[in-house]
Structure formats: structure tokens, C-alpha cells
Amino acid sequence: MFYPGFVFRTSVPTFASTMSTFTLEQVAEHKTTGSCWVIIRNKVYDVTDFLFDHPGGANVILRYAGQDATAAYVPIHPSDALDKNLAPEKHLGSLDTESINLLKEAGKNKVQTRDELRVEEAVKNKPPLGRIINVEDMEEVAKKVLPYRALAYYSSAGDDSITHVENGRAFGRFFFHPQVMRPVSGCDTSTTILGYKSSIPVYISGAALARLGHPLGEANLTRGAYKTGIIQMVSTNSSLSYAQISAARASPDQPLFFQLYKHRNDATAEKRIREVEALGYNAIFLTVDALVPGNRELDIRVPHYLEDFENQGLTTRRKTDVDEGETDRLGTAGGLVIMNDVDMTWEKTIPWIRSITKLPIVIKGVQCVQDAVLACEAGCEGIVLSNHGGRQLEYSLPPIELLYRIQQQRPDVFKKTEVYIDGAIRRGTDVLKALCLGARAVGLGRAFLYAQSAYGEAGVVHLVRILEREIRFGMESLGVRKISELVPQMVERVDWQSVSRAKL
Amino acid sequence: MFYPGFVFRTSVPTFASTMSTFTLEQVAEHKTTGSCWVIIRNKVYDVTDFLFDHPGGANVILRYAGQDATAAYVPIHPSDALDKNLAPEKHLGSLDTESINLLKEAGKNKVQTRDELRVEEAVKNKPPLGRIINVEDMEEVAKKVLPYRALAYYSSAGDDSITHVENGRAFGRFFFHPQVMRPVSGCDTSTTILGYKSSIPVYISGAALARLGHPLGEANLTRGAYKTGIIQMVSTNSSLSYAQISAARASPDQPLFFQLYKHRNDATAEKRIREVEALGYNAIFLTVDALVPGNRELDIRVPHYLEDFENQGLTTRRKTDVDEGETDRLGTAGGLVIMNDVDMTWEKTIPWIRSITKLPIVIKGVQCVQDAVLACEAGCEGIVLSNHGGRQLEYSLPPIELLYRIQQQRPDVFKKTEVYIDGAIRRGTDVLKALCLGARAVGLGRAFLYAQSAYGEAGVVHLVRILEREIRFGMESLGVRKISELVPQMVERVDWQSVSRAKL
Amino acid sequence: MFYPGFVFRTSVPTFASTMSTFTLEQVAEHKTTGSCWVIIRNKVYDVTDFLFDHPGGANVILRYAGQDATAAYVPIHPSDALDKNLAPEKHLGSLDTESINLLKEAGKNKVQTRDELRVEEAVKNKPPLGRIINVEDMEEVAKKVLPYRALAYYSSAGDDSITHVENGRAFGRFFFHPQVMRPVSGCDTSTTILGYKSSIPVYISGAALARLGHPLGEANLTRGAYKTGIIQMVSTNSSLSYAQISAARASPDQPLFFQLYKHRNDATAEKRIREVEALGYNAIFLTVDALVPGNRELDIRVPHYLEDFENQGLTTRRKTDVDEGETDRLGTAGGLVIMNDVDMTWEKTIPWIRSITKLPIVIKGVQCVQDAVLACEAGCEGIVLSNHGGRQLEYSLPPIELLYRIQQQRPDVFKKTEVYIDGAIRRGTDVLKALCLGARAVGLGRAFLYAQSAYGEAGVVHLVRILEREIRFGMESLGVRKISELVPQMVERVDWQSVSRAKL
Amino acid sequence: MFYPGFVFRTSVPTFASTMSTFTLEQVAEHKTTGSCWVIIRNKVYDVTDFLFDHPGGANVILRYAGQDATAAYVPIHPSDALDKNLAPEKHLGSLDTESINLLKEAGKNKVQTRDELRVEEAVKNKPPLGRIINVEDMEEVAKKVLPYRALAYYSSAGDDSITHVENGRAFGRFFFHPQVMRPVSGCDTSTTILGYKSSIPVYISGAALARLGHPLGEANLTRGAYKTGIIQMVSTNSSLSYAQISAARASPDQPLFFQLYKHRNDATAEKRIREVEALGYNAIFLTVDALVPGNRELDIRVPHYLEDFENQGLTTRRKTDVDEGETDRLGTAGGLVIMNDVDMTWEKTIPWIRSITKLPIVIKGVQCVQDAVLACEAGCEGIVLSNHGGRQLEYSLPPIELLYRIQQQRPDVFKKTEVYIDGAIRRGTDVLKALCLGARAVGLGRAFLYAQSAYGEAGVVHLVRILEREIRFGMESLGVRKISELVPQMVERVDWQSVSRAKL
């Protein structure tokens, strides 16, 4: 156990009043598409009708048909997922005591996989937090202590990861014109985002499935954000329920943004929006750049990798000698987007959301100048220049390049709406370049997932401190005291590509 | 054996009515340029007069003078090659039964070469097709299971392979301007090429000697093309006869294009064109960029490599201590082009072809803007911007760069003729960039050779599925539903070189 | 011992007239923030009140509270530091004889650290000076013989060392237009800097803590400069006192420049300026690009590195399992800048310095065209285009690029003030490019630190000889006989990045 | 022995009529600067007065003072060097028979150095010439079979070898616009240079000391040039005498060019020019880019390398623990240029040469557009755009880039004089790019040195055949039949850097 003694307060799933009990044998009989039962946290559920509505596909469930699915289910589903998606009468009841004990016994005797052993060793050798002095250090540790499946989901990018890498390299074509002999004492790094105060011009970008990396998942982010005075954006696909995250806030005033993947069914989408507004979320970030499953090959290859890794050196080299079906190509990521509305338009969708909620609307995933202008015309309160961290369409322009083009071609955009960017931001200088070029704030997603995976809430706090220090130092070095003094003239786009991290 | 139990229906070579039989000893006496006999599939041929007409040079034949040449001959010659090239009276007869048994026995006792052993091992460890998730995976497998000589022929490029690599790198200078909030459900990837329907804007480019990689050779491509709804271009130098390939079609409606290397003898060329038209081929792709043998060094070095590889660790390090002659520098590739017409002109050659056939004429190998214009003026139905996959003149402009220049300088070309490109296309995004810039379709050659070499027809089908999925995803991400909606504004040529495949 | 027999004449710290003596036990009782004593060179000091004024933070001192701090103190403090910073009554007295002997005994028995052993071995294998044929050779040797802490301080740069590397790479975008058939016999490499003669257009840039690398420290530079006819700039943070350095001059006419970090307390700053003017220093180089501590990660990680390095292979892997505080992030470098004035302005600060001294004022750390102009308007006698060797703000423009921009946009600057550059200059060609583009001279900092660390004064002389030879050769090759003949037309900024040092 | 049985006909040095004989002991007494004798080919010479006139410095001679210097002397001096430089009375006489036998005996018992053993092994494993299929193959072999000192001299370049590498990389920014459908049968690669016929537009550039690599030295080049119909340029510093090289010609009609390093003494220079004109040389290539010794570090480090290499693993690591003097920094190369005239001018020097000789004058080493124009105005018959193969001033523009600039800025130059380029040419495409951009021919220096070092005359012939084949193929692929059809429109300078040789 990572965090011995810690009990996370989940909302206990509700059950039908008259509960039956079942033996493992009884459950085991229901293992086909005709009748499919699964055990989750010692409860028995009939998921037969749900099989083909499951966003991740039926196959994933059928692997556990008639068996205990707890270990696979828990880290990637919020606690209210069964309530929300499964009619009460399908909550069949509980295992009997003997079965529960049998499962517990089996759990104890379970042989650890090689991946689990690797992680266990890595956790033992984890450096103390004080040794983490920059964002990349954090990522390095996380990549060691994360289970392979989680790592693959977090780190994978589209096709050949070129866009992911290019997002970062693009910052290497922007240099500063620092101004000296300017008073910088009392330099203030704070700003506002959609009117909400933020201690630094950085927010936690919506990123799904935080519990893959840490048992407390998104709650680490919520608490860390509070302690450091920044704002968290919560993903539609969070692994805690929206209510749990809302409850994790230190005070009801702590702002939360909601990253909306609009469901193709308007009624479902409406319900989701109303729920988060009621829970006190403060803005809707409508995600428009990841409506169809991207080709995240690392994620897709996870089953191949694990299989080979476990069998290394054994005679039987492979089990999956058959061509996988389409859904098996989705990986962890693909399953999340399968129900998205792929027919949204500026004319139809924005007014429809306005009709449901008073919350400000931000378009997340703008990738060309023209769409930035269209978002302004549609009255959006903000836009995020983003190619989804390079996880979707390969060769979508790096956000800092797009920002630069908007600054060159349509500077009026910055007067009409707040502009943010995300993708491969790792240094205070990256943040400052974006701000000089007109961005109001920047989002970091993976970095925060890594931080909470490696060190929980303390990691999140530490990460913000690192960024805060780097941003402050950068402002002082540029000769400014306030965020608003950062202007385009302080940045020059050069005609060469600077080197990547140089090892000394 | 790769595919045990499979028998490929070849057209049996016809023989003179009164057949003689010969012993191995009798044949062995004819081993000089004065009298040269060879055995192929237990038949005896007198090739004395043909020696110096052989496209691959006399030396290659003389290595087998008086001996059995079956293993070397079969994979690179269509079954009708002897009929077409050798007068009936030179088909001398058959081996006697005892000689046939002796050969068979010798075949059984033959010690496998190190290269054969390597291939055998690689075939055993070949991953299941389901693990192949992109074009490069396919290439990787093929490069392991191909015999060295085949690999060298397939993969070799001109001089230092710079152009081959640059063809691919060029795509890394084109980025997308994806448009969001556009309806993309029901996205349709199909188009037409020369009026023929294609499920995706991709065709199989003419590539010679498919049977070097797989016993079914070009027929794998024909069948795979049918199953996936795309079109195959057949090379003049196919290793199955044009008739066999035509017969491999699932229906007479399945379109086939013909890649013509015009023979320097007009009569021979005319015969060839009339033959394919009669067999139902649907277009002539006149190849103009590979009329003289390129300097494909990997291919040329094959004999050196194999010799050293086999002798590794032995005392005798080298056998070929003499300077090889000119023809030995040709490699497998060089032999194929030696009879080409190197004096074609726009004024003379196009009208001459028109006078022979009603088929549309496409010029394959246009390498500068001016020639694209000349092809339009000559009334060609299409042009392929191609530098022969980097296999001919080093530093010929990458096709996507040439396409971009035509789009900039002479956009009228796209209205007058269909434009295709080929060379180093590996991803759906490569295809889409070309289409945005005005191409109607793109050709893949090596990729299909690799696919059929590694997995036969199933490999071809799988490859198309991969491309189809990537193209569809790309279209949806760009915000388009139809191929015709892809326009130049969706692509930007940037001033930096993006990274190559990034390993995570 | 490096230099056996050598005794450096330090100014002996003055003590109160009536001196007490103490035992080690007595001193050991004062080991808290409430009462903190330390032993330095067998003398006892009460630093309790000074703890929180210490530029390097209290923690660094507290590690030695109640103990002997000599080894840590001596190499980084000038001999007059205690006099200047500690009231006479805090100079408590001396250890008694027995205690002195005990310390001496302990010193003898002290087990060498692994880093000390490494250095000892490296010194043994140091190549003879004649083998050092270029600036990089010198750096290579120094990096081997320097203690890790010194190396980290000398070599570390900001964030990811990108700017440090880019400073050097930038020279690779400037090529020469050499002119032939011009008489070059008697080529003269000398010039003047602020009116002072220099044998080559190079000066020793101010760099702190030379005694970290060699017991004679800055004096090596002073003497080497004299022997070769170049000028030394002395850092505010020199490890010898300004008086000692002044005294190390061969004659009172030898010019010395002073690199001023203006203290936030005007009175302290004034005292410092008056002191150096009185000592005969000839110019004030006001440093404006390193007022707040940079993020020099190599320097910051020193404690982690040493700890791990010493414990390698032992059971106990780490001692510092707690989060280090803010001051611990400062590294050796951070401590030096903590008292700087961060609120200087052109309007206020320059006239204030003028009111105190008649010395010429040079602004060191100009990083944009506009500030070059402002410095002219403020009447400064010179400016150094510098990003502090890449040690401060990452992505500050490389100085040679800035020089080029000034030459393009504001060539009038060169008529109004002397312009110098520093940062990553390693070759005579680097110097000549800068001079062609308008620089009067260039500064080298690290290179001289390395030279004196590796070979003392002889290293300094050797380094100048190397540069002199390269500069002369370059001038002859360009077809000029005098520095003043170097003009912008002799240099072209090209549109590609040339390779870095090529290994043959 | 490389070439057993071969005896090269050297002109026997003349001696004073009355010859004395000496013993080894007698010679050994003269080992100081006061009286310095050396033995060369069993003859005794008094070189005392010559010591400080020796271009390579006195030290080099003093190493052999009083001893046998044959092995060091022979490979780098033409046979007439002693006659030309040493007065007859200093040719003291011969060793006596016993001494001669003693020397012979010593030679037999001499332990081979590690470098000699390495070379011996490499020569044994040298691939047959037929395996050499491109210029780089040749270089690779030569680099293995050359003694270290020779390799260092041949391959070394200025400073960090950046310019040497950039010369080659520059070709990677020029791409072709090949034209198809043009008749190319009977393609003719021949041209004229200064009116002399050449089978391909390539000449052998003057390169010194060919006998370091092969006992027949420059004569290999003369004979190979004849066999292949190209022209050789002979260096002032050839290791055969100009007369020997002239005599090595197959016929008096075979053209030879002379690369002149003008001696600072006009009389000496005049004598040299008159000598080569009398010997039938056909042009003067006045070298102007290597008048002062370049910083060729590989060459300079030779003594260090050999010493360490020989002592590897022994206790005594180093012998040279003292600082080497200035002349020791010259390397093999430096010694050759020390007497050059560094005060030439267009106005004075060209007319002076004209006054002595009727031969055409070509300026070798033009490095900027302006000097190309000045050479035209001075009436020179040709210019070589060259930075001396990157061996002199680092960051001199690559010649192909300079050629491109002249084509852009002053195309009139090509009408007024013949323009050649040299430096890092390795492929037929390199040659063709230069010719398209206006060059009449290109020179290769190192490549021919490598060829003759590895395979003697046969290597030279083979190298030309390789180039001829590549040039012909390139012309055919570009759609031209004659050299004169190569025009600037066939080449495009692109805005990216193509990859270097790609390994497959």
C-alpha cells in the first residue's frame, strides 16, 4: 500500500432494498453475452443489457464475465458510475460471507505480476520530494512508479508522438528581449482567469483518470490547487465523481472548471451540465478537439506489451495470436470518447449550451486562426489553443505557434475573449512566452497527473511552487512587476531551432 | 514452406510437340557462351542465342550454365517469360526421370545458407497480424522475414538514400489547420481515380518482382485490392505475367492500371501495350524517371554481403577478389531497365501511344513544375509527381514539395489533369496533406510489397484498413466529411523541420 | 598539495587587543541560532547576530555551528570578509594550543571523500600544458581536476543550459567573406578598451570565486593578464579581497576593471565603489542581468550529487529525506546575489554612480536593442551585451545575435559607446565575428576560471597565447592588418545552422 | 612491403667529386645546433647552416642530429630537395661499408611500432578494388591503411573541422529539377578546362606529399589521369620533383597544371615558375588562401597521439612533459607554408607573374564575390572558389554557396573567366550542381590522395570511373546530353538542410 492508513470517503453505492446474496459459483454461471454478471467490491451486478452501451466496448467487460472485476473497474470509474448507468434492479445483491472470504484469500495468494514488482521496487527508491527541482524531474519519477497501463494512458500521444514533441520544441523558437534597469521588487505573479483569482497564470487542465496513478486521484489536484491558489479543471472522464471532487474543495468558494465532452445524446449532455452547475462548478470548457478516438499507439499496444513482458523468457511467447477487433484498438483512451457528439456547430451548439447554463463557455481545442475568430463571434468567454497535448491529430500546429499567428493576423481576438494555451509547457519561460504573446493563462495536464501520481497532494503543491518560482524569476529578469506588463515586444520568433535540454 | 498446401496455378509453359529427354551429364556439357543450356523446372532450354539479349546481362545466366537454374529463375520471372522470349525450338525437352530424382534428392540434402536459416527463424517469430498497427510495423516485420537479396532490392535507394529519406522528411514541414465545430458523422473517404472508384485516395503503385517476397507475388495485391476497394498498378517487370494478374481479379470489372516501361524497340513496346489493353487493363502509367539504371548501392552490394555473411568466421574471407565488370554493378534493379527507350519526347511519344491505345495515359515521374505543364499540354490524363521513391536521381525534389510548388505557381495544372504523388507515404496525415495541396490520390509501392511479403493477401488488406482508419480519423479531425472538402488552406508549410518518429 | 611551498600573503584578520583562548568543548556549546560560534583558521567567532544577514543563508553556517568551518569558509571568502562583516567584538579569540593540535591531528586522520580521491587522481594524470592547444582542451582538463562543487558552480547555467549552448551555437550562423591578395605581414592584434591598451581584443570577464579552483585564485588572473598585456575585470564576489588583487598587479599602471553588483543599501554600495576607486581600479562594470538568483540546477543539485556519490553502493542511500527549504535552492551562486539592488533605473542609478566616482561606467548585461540605446542616452561609456553566460534567464538572445540586430537596426550605437559581448566565446573566429559586427572587445569568464584552476597563472598565459594565435591567423586570413579594418561586410549571417565541433 | 619488386626511378642526388666516407661514430659527434650532420640514404650531410632555413623548423631536424634520418626524410621530400637546398660542399660524403651494414642490421632488428603493426594488418584485410563502389568507400579504406601521421596530414582541417564538414553539407541544400521526356542517348560527359580536353568536368586538385600514402606518390596521379583523360594539378609541395612528375606523363601532350605557392623571395618564386614552364606544365594555379599556417589540430596532435598510442598500458605515460614551442604547433602542414609571400596584391602580383610566364593564371582560393570580380578585372584566366578544403580559415563560406551567390549577384563573372570549385565533393550530383550553377569543372584533392594511397594508380583510375558513371547517370536523369546544357534553372536552393548519408 502506498498510503497506509488512508481511507478515502466514497459515496457508497445504493442498493435495492431487499438484497440477495450469491455464491461465486452462482455468479460464474453468468458469463456470456446472453447473461453477464460481474462482482465489484463484493457486490453482484447484472450488466447484460449494458454490455453494448459500455463506452469501452463489450469485450472489456466480457473478460470478467462471471468473475470479480473490482481491480480493473475501480481505478477508472467514479464511485457513482454504477448508480448513474445501471438501473437499480440490476444491482442484484451481495456475495455471501464465504465467497467474500474466498476472494480475500485469493487476493492474498495472488502472485504479483512483473509490472507490479517493478512498480513496488520503484516506489521504494523514489527520491524525496526535495530533490524534485523542475517539472521534468517530476515526470521522470512518475514514469518510474506508474503501472505500465497508467503510464501508457497518461503519456501516449497521437501516431508517432511528433506533435507532442513539436509542441515543446516550438517554445525553442521564441527568445526574450529582457529589459534591465527596471524596478522589480515586489513582483506579483497573480492574475485572474474568467474573473477568478489565480496565484500564477497557470491552471490544472482537465485530464482523465487520475486514480490510475494515485488512489486519491483528482482529489489530490483539488486540494493542491487550493493550497497554492490555482484553479483546477475537472474532466468529464474523471475517476472520481463530480460530486466527490466538489466535496474535496477546502471551501465552496474554491473555483472549479468543468471540461465537457458533449454526449451525442442532448438529454444526457444537459443532465451532465446541470449537475456540475448545481455542484458549484464555475465554467464549462467545451472540448472540441478530441471527439473521435485518436491513434495513441502506446496506449493501444498496452496488452501486447504486458503480455510479452510477463512471458519474457517463457516458452509460450504469445496468447493473442488473432487479429484484434476494432474496439481493441481503442486503448484506455479510445473508450472514453466513443459517445461524443461529432456533429456540433458554432451556430447550433453554443446557443444550446447557453440555454441550459449561465456558466461562461470556453472552447477547448481551437487549432486555427479562423476558428479563434469564429469563437469570438459566437460570444465564447474564452478559447484554449490546444491540440490536446498532441494526442489527437498529428501535425496540428503547436499552440504557441498558433498564438503567434493570432497575434500577427488577428490581434483583435485578444480583446474579445480570453485566450489560453496548453501542451508541453514545462518551464516558467514557456508560460511567460505565451503571456507575452497574448495568452491570459496556460494549462498543464500531464504534469499534474504525474505530480499527484508520484507524490499525491504534496506533489501537486510542489509542482506549483516550482512554476511559481520560475515565473517570478522570469518576470524579474524581463524587468516587469505585473503580469499585465508582459507584451509581445518582449518576445522574438527566431529563425532557428534551439537545442533541447542540454545535458551538462 | 511458408504456405503449406498452397498450389499456385501457373500457366504451364508450352513445349515443342516432340519432346526429348536429357541427363544431367548431357546438360552439363553445354556450359559456355558457345553453347549454353539451363534447366528450369526439370525442363531443358538452349539459351545460347539469348545470352546477350538478357536484360540482366549474360553473366547472371552463365553462373548456371549447364546446371539447374530453377531457384534463381522462378521468383523473378513471370511464367510466360520463356514463351515470350525463347523460340519454341530452344525449348529442348525434359530431364529424364533419374535426373529429376537426382535433383530432388540434391534439393533435400542441400545445406541451408545462413541467410535461409535467419529467415526461417524470423518467420517463426513473426508477430500475429493484429499486432501490426501502422505502416512502419509492417515494414519492420517484412525486413526481418525477407531474404537478403529481396530486401536489398525492395529497400535500396539511390546513392546515399538521402532522397528516399527526404521524401519522408518533407511531410514534416507541413502542418494542419484543423477546423472544429463542424459535423463529421458519416465521413466518406472514397474518391475516384481516372474515373474508377476507390475506397480511399490511395492506389498500389507499380513495383516489380513481388514474388521475391512471397510465392503468390502480385496476385496478393490484386486480391487484397479487390477486398478493400482500391486499385492496383501492375509493373512492366511484374513477376507474374500480365495475364496471370488479370486472371487473379475477382471480377472483370476490377480495375487494373499498367506501369509501362517503354521498350526501345517500338514494335516490342506496341505489342506490350496491346497485350495489356486486351487483358482489360484500364490505364497506361508511362514511367519516365527510371530509364537508366540508378545507383542503388545496397542492391549492388548484395553479392559482397552474402559472401561475407556466409563466410563469417571462416578462414577464406573472400572469393570475389577481382574487379567486377559493369553489368555486375546493376544489381537486381539494374537488369530491369536496360532495354528502356531513353529517347522519348513529349512531341513524339505521347501521340505514338495514343495511336496504339484508347487507354488514358498518365506520366509517372514528373519532377519539376515545367514538366507538369508540358504533360497538360500534351493532353495526358494524369501525372504522378515521383522521384521513383528516391531510387533514381539523388536530390530530386520531394514530391510533396513539388506538389506545393505547382499549387503556388501553376494551380491551373490541377484543373487540367489528375495529379498523384508517391514516395515515403506512411501515414494518413501524409495522404491528407497531399490531397489538401491538390493531389487526387497517392501511391504506395514498397509498403504493399512489404505487406504481401510478410503476410500475403491478408497483409495487403490489413494495410489498407490501417490507412483507411488513419485517413478517416484525419478527415474527421480536420472537420471535413468528403474528400472534396480538403483544400490548400488546411495546410501550412512551416519554416522548421519537425522531428522524425519520436520514441517514447 | 598542488603548489607545495607556496605561501599566499593574506592580510591577517585583526583582533581585539585582549585575546581570549577557547577549547573545542567551549566552542561546541554554541551551536544554535541562539548562540552560534564557529572556528576559522583556529580563531573563534560569534556569528549569532550575523546568521540572518549571511548572503548564503543561515543554514549554511548552522551546519558548522560550534565546529571548525575553515575548509568550507576559506575558498569562497576574501580574507577581509570577517573584518568587513563582523564587528571586532565578535572576533572572540583563539583556540588554545591543545585544541589547535587536536584539529590538526583530526585533519591528518580525516578520510578523504570519494570526490577528493577522484580529484587527486585527475591531478596526477593532468596532461602537460603543451598539450592544451585550444580553449576546449583547457576546459576539459579543468572539468577533471576541479572538485565537484567548484565545477558545478563554474559550469552551471540557467534551467536546461539551453541559452548557454545557444550562445555558442549562434556563432555557427555567421560565416566569413575572407579577402585574398591583401598584404598582411606585421598583422597587429592590439586594440584599446576604454582607452587602455590590450594586446588582443579580449578581456577577462568578472567571474566569482576563483579560489574554488586554485589556491591563488584571482591573483592568477591578475598576473597572467599582466604577462600577456590584457585586462582583468574583478568581480564583486571575488574570493580574494579587492586590495589583494590590486596588490597582485605587477605595476600600479596595470589596469583593472571592477564588476559591480550594486548592494541594495546605497551606503554599502557607495563604500564599495569608493574602495575600488581608491585601490586604483579603472572602470565600473555595473552588472544588471543577475540581480535575482538564477535557476542553476547543476549548482543546486550539488548536495544531492555528493551525497549519492559518496554513498554509492552502501545500504543507506540518502540522508536528506526532507524537503529542502528555499535557501537551499540557491546553490553556491544564489548566495552571492541575494543583497542586490533590484530597483535600479536608468534615470536614478547612473547619475548616482556618477556622483560618487569619476570612473567610466559600463552596463554589463544589456539584452535588447532598446536598452543599448537607453544606455547611450544615459551616457554610459560602454555596454556589455551579455546574458550572463546563459546563467540567468533562459532564452535571452545570444549576444552575437543581439550585436547583429544592433548593427542592423541602430548602428549609431557603435559611435556613441563601446560595445562588448561575452558568452561562449571559444575561438579566434568567434572574437573576429564580434569585432566585424561592431564589438570593440569580447570577454571570457569561465575559460579563464578553468585555465587558472587547471594550471594557475601559466594556464592563464597559455590561454591568451592560444587566443592571440587564433586571432592573428584569422585576421591574416581575412586580409586585414589592423583591428580597425574588420568591418560588417566581412561577415554574413547565413540561413542554416552549421554543425558543432566535428570529431574526426 | 606494399609493392614488392617495384623500383621507382629517382634522380640520384649529385655529390662533390671527391667523396669522403664516415663512420656512424663520426657522424654522431655532430648533433648540436653548432654542428649538425644527418644521414640520408647512407649519405652524410652537414645541415648546420640550413637548420633555421628549414621550412618545418629546426627542431624536426635536430631530433635526428648525428643520426640516420632516412625514414623520416624520404616520404616528404622530392628527390631533388637536397640538391636544390643544400650547397654541394655540404654533401659531405658516404657512410663506410661497415656503418651501412650496421644500419641495415638495425633496420632488420627494429621493432615495429604499434602503428606500423596496425597498418600491416589493415593492408592484409584491404577489400578488393571491385568492392569500392563510391568515393566514400575509397576514403574508408585509405583511412585504415594509412600510417597515422599521413592520415592526420591528409584528413586534418582547420580548428574544429566545421568548415570541412559544412563544405559537404552545403550540397544538401541544393535540389534538382530533373526534366523528363528528353532524348539522352549518347550522353557526353566531356568538357575542356583552360582549353584542355577533360573526359569529365573534374580535375585532380593540387595536394601535397602524396608519397606519405604510397611510394609512387604523385606519379600514381599522373598515370591515372592519363588513362582516364583528366588533368592533374601538381602542388608546389609535391613529394616527387616537378621533373619526375613531368617525366611520369604518358606523352608530352598530357596536360599538367601547377599549384604555385609564391615564395616570399621573388627570385626563388621566379625560378620555380620558370622551371615548371620549361618542364611543360600548362597553367599556374596561384594559391592565395593558405599563405599562413592553418590551425590543423589533428595534424598538430600527431606527436601526442603516437606517443600515447605506443605507450598504452605502460608505466611511463608521457615523455613530452614540457611545453612545446611555436614551431611544434605547425604539424606536417605548417612547415610547408612558412616561406609564402603574405604581401601579394592584385595590382602587383598578377602583372609580375605575367612578366615571367605566358601560362594562364588561375587564382585558387577565392572566397567572396568581390574577389571573384577583382580576379576578372585583373585578367585571370580562371578562379577556384575554395576555402582550401576547410583546412584554413574556419567559417569561410562553402564554395557551392559562394558559387550560388556569384550566380545571383554577379553572373557576368562566368562570362569573363572560368570558375571552378573544390572542397568535399563526393558524388556525381555534387559535380552537377556546381556545373548547373556556372562552374566549368570541379577539383578533388583528398579523394585522389586516398585513392592512390589505398590502391596506387589503379585506385586513381577506379575513382575516375566511379565519378564518370555517376556524372553520366545524373546528366541522363536531368535530361541533358551535353555539359553545356546544364543551367541554373535545373537547381533550386531549398530552405532546409537535407540529411547526411543515411544508413539503411
Share of chain B above pLDDT 70, in %: 89
pLDDT in tens, B273-331: 999 999 999 999 999 999 988 898 888 888 777 776 665 544 333 333 334 444 456 56
- Closest residue to A128, CB basis, from C318, C392, C394: C318
Is the minimum CB–CB distance between D289 and chain C shorter than 8 Å? yes
Mean per-residue pLDDT over chain D, rounded: 89
* B-chain residue closest to A371, CA distance: B179
pLDDT in tens, D245-303: 999 999 999 999 999 999 999 999 999 999 999 999 999 999 999 999 889 888 888 87
Reply yes or no on whether the pLDDT at A311 is more than 70.
no
Task: Tell me if B368 and D177 make a contact (CB, 8 A cut-off).
Answer: yes
Separation between Cα atoms, residue D226 and residue D283, nearest integer Å: 17
pLDDT in tens, D167-185: 999 999 999 999 999 999 9
Which amino acid type is present at position D464? V
pLDDT at A333 (0 to 100): 60
Q: Which of C68, C289, C422, C430 is labelled catalytic?
A: C289
Nearest CA among C427, C135, C440, C412 for reference residue C283: C440
* B122 exposure class (CB count in 10 Å sphere: 0-12, 13-18, 19+): middle
Separation between Cα atoms, residue B115 and residue D413, nearest integer Å: 57
Mean pLDDT value across residues B184-204? 98
Separation between Cα atoms, residue B188 and residue B197, nearest integer Å: 13
- Closest residue to B178, CB basis, from A162, A318, A396: A396
Q: Which positions 302-321 of B are in contact with D (Cβ < 8 Å)?
A: 304, 317-318, 320-321
Separation between Cα atoms, residue B218 and residue A186, nearest integer Å: 75
Identify the band that residue C331 occupies on the pLDDT scale cut at 50, 70 and 90: low
* A-chain residue closest to B180, CA distance: A288
Is the minimum CB–CB distance between B339 and chain D shorter than 8 Å? no
pLDDT in tens, C62-97: 888 999 988 888 877 887 888 888 888 889 999 999
* C-chain residue closest to A172, CA distance: C395
pLDDT at D273 (0 to 100): 97
Is the minimum CB–CB distance between D165 and chain C shorter than 8 Å? yes
pLDDT at A334 (0 to 100): 59
* B261 exposure class (CB count in 10 Å sphere: 0-12, 13-18, 19+): buried
pLDDT at C60 (0 to 100): 77
Task: Tell me if A344 and B183 make a contact (CB, 8 A cut-off).
Answer: yes
Is the minimum CB–CB distance between C381 and chain A shorter than 8 Å? no
| Coil, strand or helix at D206 | coil
Residues of D annotated as catalytic (active site), given as ranges: 261, 289, 388
Separation between Cα atoms, residue D87 and residue D45, nearest integer Å: 10
Q: What backbone phi and psi angles, to 5 degrees, belong to C260?
A: -95, 125
Question: A477, A481, A487, A497: best mutation site toward chain C, by most C Cβ within 10 Å?
Answer: A477
D36 beta partners: D31
Distance from CA of C489 to the nearest CA of D (A): 10
Is the minimum CB–CB distance between B409 and chain D shorter than 8 Å? no
Distance from CA of D128 to the nearest CA of B (A): 5
Max mean pLDDT among A54-68, B211-225, C70-84 falls in B211-225
Which amino acid type is present at position D215? P
Full set of structural domains in chain C with CATH: 20-109 (3.10.120.10), 135-493 (3.20.20.70)
Reply yes or no on whether the pLDDT at B6 is more than 70.
no
Chains B & D: contacts with CB separation below 8 Å: 134
Pairing mode, strands A361-366 and B382-385: unpaired
More confident site: A445 or A237: A445
pLDDT at A12 (0 to 100): 45
Reply yes or no on whether the pLDDT at C313 is more than 60.
no
pLDDT in tens, C183-242: 999 999 999 999 999 999 999 999 778 898 999 999 999 999 999 999 999 999 898 999
Task: Tell me if D156 and C504 make a contact (CB, 8 A cut-off).
Answer: yes
- CB C390 within 8 Å of CB C156: no
User: E-strand spans in C190-289?
Assistant: 191-193, 196-198, 202-204, 231-235, 256-260, 283-287
B288 chain-D contacts, CB cut-off 8 A:
180-181
pLDDT at B316 (0 to 100): 38
pLDDT at B501 (0 to 100): 73
Separation between Cα atoms, residue B382 and residue B413, nearest integer Å: 10
| Coil, strand or helix at B158 | strand
Q: Mention every residue, 6+ apart, whose C-beta is less than 8 A from residue D210.
A: D217, D218, D220, D221, D238, D239, D240, D449, D452, D453
Task: Tell me if D363 and C176 make a contact (CB, 8 A cut-off).
Answer: no
Residue with cell 454526449: A263
Is the minimum CB–CB distance between A156 and chain B shorter than 8 Å? yes
Return the C-alpha cell found at A394.
498529428
Separation between Cα atoms, residue A484 and residue A383, nearest integer Å: 19
Distance from CA of B472 to the nearest CA of A (A): 10
Is the minimum CB–CB distance between C185 and chain D shorter than 8 Å? yes
* A503 exposure class (CB count in 10 Å sphere: 0-12, 13-18, 19+): exposed
Q: Mention every residue, 6+ apart, whose C-beta is less than 8 A from residue B466.
A: B132, B133, B134, B135, B138
For chain D, the C-alpha Rg in angstroms (whole number) is 24
Return the C-alpha cell found at B318.
573472400
**CA distance between the termini of chain B:** 37
Return the partners of chain D (3 or more C-beta pairs < 8 Å).
Answer: B, C
* C-chain residue closest to A178, CA distance: C367
Reply yes or no on whether the pLDDT at A336 is more than 90.
no
- CB B419 within 8 Å of CB B372: yes
pLDDT at C335 (0 to 100): 59
* D-chain residue closest to B302, CA distance: D131
Return the C-alpha cell found at D451.
585513392
* A-chain residue closest to C172, CA distance: A496
Separation between Cα atoms, residue D303 and residue C131, nearest integer Å: 10
- Closest residue to C393, CB basis, from A129, A185, A477: A477
> What is the 3 state secondary structure string of B284-330?
EEEECCCCCCCCEHHHHCHHHHHHHHHHCCCCCCCCCCCCCCCHHHH
Is the minimum CB–CB distance between D498 and chain B shorter than 8 Å? yes
Separation between Cα atoms, residue D215 and residue C289, nearest integer Å: 62
Number of residues in chain C: 504
pLDDT at B58 (0 to 100): 78
Task: Tell me if D396 and C185 make a contact (CB, 8 A cut-off).
Answer: no
More confident site: B343 or C301: B343
pLDDT in tens, A437-466: 999 999 999 999 999 999 999 999 999 999
Which range has the worst mean pLDDT, B360-369, C478-487, D156-165? D156-165
Separation between Cα atoms, residue D75 and residue D65, nearest integer Å: 18
Return the C-alpha cell found at A159.
501516431
Identify the band that residue A332 occupies on the pLDDT scale cut at 50, 70 and 90: low
- CB A289 within 8 Å of CB A365: yes
Task: Tell me if A395 and B176 make a contact (CB, 8 A cut-off).
Answer: yes
pLDDT at D81 (0 to 100): 83
Task: Tell me if A395 and B494 make a contact (CB, 8 A cut-off).
Answer: no
| Coil, strand or helix at A339 | coil
pLDDT at B328 (0 to 100): 54
For chain C, the C-alpha Rg in angstroms (whole number) is 24
More confident site: D101 or A181: A181
Q: Give the pTM.
A: 0.91
pLDDT in tens, D207-228: 778 898 999 999 999 999 999 9
Task: Tell me if A473 and C294 make a contact (CB, 8 A cut-off).
Answer: yes
